[in-house]
Amino acid sequence: MTLFTDLEDSPRGTRVALDELLDALPYNEQGLIAAVAQDAGSREVLMLAWMNRTAIETTLREGVACYYSRSRQTLWRKGESSGHVQKVLDLRFDCDGDAILLTVEQTGPACHTNRPACFYLQVQDQEVVVVTAPESG
Amino acid sequence: MTLFTDLEDSPRGTRVALDELLDALPYNEQGLIAAVAQDAGSREVLMLAWMNRTAIETTLREGVACYYSRSRQTLWRKGESSGHVQKVLDLRFDCDGDAILLTVEQTGPACHTNRPACFYLQVQDQEVVVVTAPESG
């Protein structure tokens, strides 16, 4: 039994120490967990990125989303250069701990392309279509 | 330039062949892409799972979500045993192709614990709390 299988059968209101849960997360071979950011207002799914343990702890401590950049191999405080920060209202783990859901207030566009969200490539029959444009200014 | 960096600067309405995009996806070392399922009605983020190319093609062909089970190392037609299928209304890729967003009509609970969604472990200060109960029946 892992912590997560224990919690599956636990009633609502069951509590576990954050540190204990962070110890038990099934980090991948790069030490990362997938993290999904959802806009608190529009409920749009904005992006998927990655967090290591330090990024999770930093996000919780600072109240704004901090991811781990796989390309730059460093902590990535989202918006540190663009100003497009994500204020984190809620952070949850899923049933087996391999995903995180952030509920956020997004400042500016979430996507590095200046689109409101990253999921702009929509399948239509046998094609994929760019369905949103970058925001101007 | 990859296909995805090309598409970043492309205007709304730009089209690319689905096969070409599937060829260009940055599958991880297990051949997988992260896939997020969101409920079309409630807009709740239901779960995160994984898809290989065959799972993506099967999902698009059959119109119901088919993932790849990492534990069983096989295609996993969600709901094939439980009946808790996900009718897929929309499938999108993100800016760099390393995530998929499915908009679904969920039959029954999405989570294998019989909870409506998988993200039921909420951080509250220095603890994590089980915030939903399994559905009965």
Residue B8's closest chain A neighbor by CA? A113
- Determine, for residues B119 and A19 on separate chains, whether the beta-carbon distance falls below 8 Å: no
Question: Between the CA atoms of B116, A32, B92 and A106, what dihedral angle is there, to the nearest 10 degrees?
Answer: 80
pLDDT of residue B136 exceeding 80, the answer is: no
Chain B interface disruption, residue of A60, A121, A129, A135, most B CBs within 10 A = A121
Residue A135 is predicted with a pLDDT of 84
For the residues B78-102, what does the mean pLDDT come to? 97
Q: Beta partners for B38?
A: B45, B103
How far away is chain A from the Cα of B76, in angstroms, using its nearest Cα? 17
Torsion, Cα A55 A59 A64 A66, to 10 degrees, reads 0
Is pTM beyond 0.80? Reply is: yes
Residues A83 and A70: beta-carbon distance below 8 Å: no
Among A14-18, A101-105, B53-57, B131-135, the minimum mean pLDDT is found in B131-135
Is A131 buried (19+), middle (13-18) or exposed (0-12) by CB count in 10 A?
A: middle
Q: What is the pLDDT of residue B137?
A: 56
Comparing CB atoms, the residue among B12, B92, B120 nearest residue A133 is: B12
- Residue by residue, pLDDT tens for chain A (137 residues) are 689 999 999 999 999 999 999 999 999 999 999 999 999 999 999 999 999 999 999 999 999 999 999 999 999 999 999 999 999 999 999 999 999 999 999 999 999 999 999 999 999 999 999 999 998 75
A76: chain B residues, CB-CB within 8 Å? none
Do the Cβ atoms of B94 and A15 come within 8 Å? no
C-beta atoms of B45 and A36 within 8 A: yes
Cβ-proximal residues to A113 (8 Å cutoff; 6+ apart), any chain: A120, A134, B8, B9, B95
Contact status, residue B102 vs residue B59, Cβ threshold 8 Å: yes
Average pLDDT, chain B: 96
**Is residue B1 scored above 80 in pLDDT?**
no
The reported pLDDT for the residue numbered B85 is 98
What is the structure's pLDDT at A136? 77
What integer pLDDT is reported at residue B116 of this predicted model? 96
Question: What pLDDT is attached to residue A66?
Answer: 98
**Inter-chain CB pairs, A–B, below 8 Å:** 150
Q: Is B94 in contact with A121 (Cβ distance < 8 A)?
A: yes
Q: Would you say B107 and B86 are in contact if contact means Cβ atoms under 8 Å apart?
A: yes
Query: What average pLDDT score do residues B87-105 get?
Result: 98
Q: Residue A79 and residue A21: Cα distance in Å, rounded? A: 28
B-interface mutation test, from A50, A101, A124, A136, most B Cβ less than 10 A away: A101
What pLDDT score does A1 carry? 66
